[in-house]
């Protein structure tokens, strides 16, 4: 039964709640249909567990910004919590462990963004490997999936562990494969059943694969930690792991949420969050750029003009590239990379737009709903960079652009991700022309559902640009 003054929603069935109202393969369309029937705030039952789905800019901002401390928790009793053993930063509840680890990650990312060996340098270094891979495929057709996943993984790996891996390295293959699988398992049909019907949790059903993948990643993390402990010089950190170990030395004996066990899950979180998101956004970018060649060409004209005489692009160049900026943002809008954000949870009994929501309620933030919300976009349902340009051709960012979510739990890798997307797209578009292969048929833009949305596998043809 719904608590008093709880948001409305469809009637639940015994045991299953409302999960039979949803396509377990991809519930995004069902969420939109339910929004049409019940409004921007409605409720569902996953088994006997009540959940509130929040859609639209107004309601999402009211929850995540105005009532931030009430809506910034994370549920602690779901498949993904059991699989990750309740450690790390992404799924940590709103409290001191989360706060200390979030602050530490932001500070370390900022510190590594400064100075000679800056984040921009690291990204450019990795782009050279992408260029080499593409150059080997000139005139042929290639599948860019592994290349983009590995490039994104290497960029974050350098910050975390001070190392990158060749694209055919076993380590990177295993770990990136675990990430891509778990991004689909974590909110796929079996995880939904695990969350809704607790009596099946101990059974050997397909969700076990998710647990196994986390264990594989943890054992790799443990190995990297052991190597770091052998080779580090205290006080002279090479990467985030060294910084964390220095912090552990300082905190020795104090009550603190920092520990070696935490460190393993923490680096795993940052590695996962920094890989699957950026790479799927890049895959979406090149799918659209190939199939809208006039948009690709217009980007190239702007890039050639702004970078004339320069060796390479810098992140600051974005201010003089309004069209490219608009395209990068439009790609993110269409990619809708994390469509339901990461699930939130109420930390107190609270109210939202007249409804009462008890403490501990699962909150699903429907980011998908704002990225194509009518009234906020000139062209909500088509790929069109005009969504981010005003009448003077200047770049503008509508308030409904929130692929990184908003409020205290907003993506902590946003600055890194924005830098990666801009530098990678500009450098590759300057050097190559990307062509949709003649035999590839009609492009399919509908993505595969998961915590992250992934474009269906495709091939691309590359040519060196005549102007190079
Ligand atoms: C295009 C790329 C990316 C997108 C679209 C994206 C999107 C998101 C979203 C929607 C959330 C959930 C926010 C919420 O709970 O309300 C999130 C959380 C997070 N992201 Fe990203 N992300 C991206 C890249 C990255 C990168 C490169 C990193 C690497 C450092 C990263 C690290 C994290 C972490 C650690 C969290 C959890 C934050 C917390 O719970 O406090 N993300 N991201």
pLDDT > 70? residue 114: no
Query: What band does 115 get if pLDDT is binned at 50, 70 and 90?
Result: low
pLDDT of residue 168: 84
The Cα–Cα gap between 403 and 336 comes to: 6
User: Measured from the CA of 281, which atom of ligand 1 is nearest?
Assistant: 1
Q: Which stretch of DSSP H or E encloses residue 61? A: helix 57-61
Percent of the chain with pLDDT over 90: 78
Q: How confident is the model at residue 349 (pLDDT cuts 50, 70, 90)?
A: very high
What pLDDT score was predicted for residue 173? 87
For residue 299, name the pLDDT band (cuts at 50, 70, 90).
very high
pLDDT of 116 over the 60 cut: no
Residue ranges and CATH numbers for the domains of the chain are 19-464 (1.10.630.10)
Q: Is 411 annotated as a binding residue?
A: yes
Query: How does pLDDT run across 46-84, given as a tens digit for each residue?
Result: 888 899 999 999 999 999 999 999 999 999 988 888 888
Burial class (CB in 10 A: 0-12, 13-18, 19+), 189: middle
The DSSP symbol for 17 reads B
pTM: 0.95
The predicted structure's pLDDT at residue 468: 47
Measured in angstroms, how far is the CA atom of residue 405 from the centroid of ligand 1? 8
Whether 321 and 346 have beta carbons less than 8 Å apart is answered as no
Tell me: the pLDDT tens digits for 224-268?
999 999 999 999 999 999 999 999 998 877 778 899 999 999 999
Residue of higher predicted confidence among 444 and 206: 444
Report residue 236: phi and psi, to 5°: -125, 70
Strands, E assignment, 308-439? 344-345, 350-352, 355-357, 362-366, 432-435
Mean of all residue pLDDT scores within the chain: 93
Does the C-beta of 269 come closer than 6 Å to ligand 1? Answer: yes
Element (H, E) at 271: helix 260-291
Rounded mean pLDDT, 343-347: 97
Whether residue 40 is predicted with pLDDT greater than 90 in this model: the reply is yes
CA atoms within 13 A on the CB side of 159: 28
Pairing label, strands 362-366, 49-55: parallel
CB 397 within 8 Å of CB 318: no
Residue 272, pLDDT score? 93
Contact present, 357 and 52 (Cβ < 8 Å): yes
Tell whether ligand 1 has an atom less than 6 A from the beta carbon of residue 363. Answer: no
Bigger pLDDT: 15 vs 229: 229
Residue 467 has pLDDT above 70, yes or no: no
pLDDT, mean of residues 323-343: 97
pLDDT tens for each residue of 404-453: 999 999 999 999 999 999 999 999 999 999 999 999 999 999 999 999 99
**Interval between CA 409 and ligand 1 midpoint (Å):** 8
Mean per-residue pLDDT for 106-129? 86
Q: Are strands 49-55 and 141-142 parallel, antiparallel or unpaired?
A: unpaired
The answer to whether ipTM exceeds 0.95 is yes
Q: Is the CB of 73 inside a 6 Å radius of any atom of ligand 1?
A: no
How remote is the CA of residue 414 from the centroid of ligand 1, in Å?
A: 7
């Amino acid at each position: 039964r719904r608590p008093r003054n709880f948001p409305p929603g469809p009637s639940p069935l015994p045991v299953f709640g409302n999960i039979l109202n949803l396509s377990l393969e991809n519930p995004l369309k069902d969420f939109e249909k339910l929004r049409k029937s019940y409004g921007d705030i409605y409720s569902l039952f996953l088994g006997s567990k009540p959940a509130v789905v929040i859609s639209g800019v107004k309601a999402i901002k009211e929850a995540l910004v105005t009532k931030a401390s009430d809506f910034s928790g994370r549920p602690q009793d779901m498949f993904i919590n059991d699989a990750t053993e309740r450690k790390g930063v992404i799924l940590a509840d709103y409290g001191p462990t989360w706060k200390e680890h979030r602050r530490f990650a932001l500070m370390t990312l900022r510190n590594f963004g400064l100075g000679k060996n800056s984040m921009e340098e690291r990204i450019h270094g990795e782009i050279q490997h992408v260029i080499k891979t593409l150059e080997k495929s000139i005139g042929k057709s290639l599948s860019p999936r592994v290349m983009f996943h590995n490039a994104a993984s290497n960029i974050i790996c350098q910050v975390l562990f001070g190392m990158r891996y060749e694209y055919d390295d076993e380590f990177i293959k295993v770990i990136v494969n675990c990430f891509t699988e778990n991004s689909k398992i974590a909110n796929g049909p079996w995880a939904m059943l695990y969350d809704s019907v607790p009596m099946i949790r101990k059974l050997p059903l397909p969700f076990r694969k998710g647990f196994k993948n986390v264990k594989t990643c943890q054992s790799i993390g443990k190995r990297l930690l052991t190597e770091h402990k052998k080779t580090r010089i205290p006080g002279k950190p090479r990467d985030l792991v060294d910084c964390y170990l220095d912090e552990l030395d300082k905190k020795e004996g104090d009550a603190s949420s920092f520990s070696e066990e935490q460190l393993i899950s923490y680096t795993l979180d940052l590695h996962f969050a920094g890989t699957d998101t950026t790479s799927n956004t890049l895959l979406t970018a090149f799918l659209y750029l190939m199939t809208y060649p006039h948009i690709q060409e217009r980007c190239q004209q702007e890039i050639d003009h702004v970078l004339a005489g320069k060796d390479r692009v810098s992140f600051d160049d974005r201010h003089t590239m309004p069209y490219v900026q608009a395209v990068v943002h439009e790609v993110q809008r269409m990619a809708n990379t994390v469509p339901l954000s990461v699930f939130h949870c109420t930390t107190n009994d609270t109210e939202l737009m007249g409804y009462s929501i008890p403490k501990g309620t699962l909150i699903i933030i429907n980011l998908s709903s704002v990225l194509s919300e009518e009234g906020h976009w000139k062209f909500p349902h088509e790929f069109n960079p005009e969504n981010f340009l005003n009448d003077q051709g200047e770049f503008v960012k509508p308030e409904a652009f929130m692929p990184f979510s908003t409020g205290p739990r907003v993506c902590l890798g946003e600055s890194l991700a924005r830098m990666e997307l801009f530098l990678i797209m500009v450098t590759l578009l300057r050097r190559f022309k990307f062509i949709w292969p003649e035999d590839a048929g009609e492009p399919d833009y509908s993505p595969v559902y998961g915590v992250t949305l992934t474009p269906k596998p495709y091939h691309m043809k590359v040519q060196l640009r005549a102007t190079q």
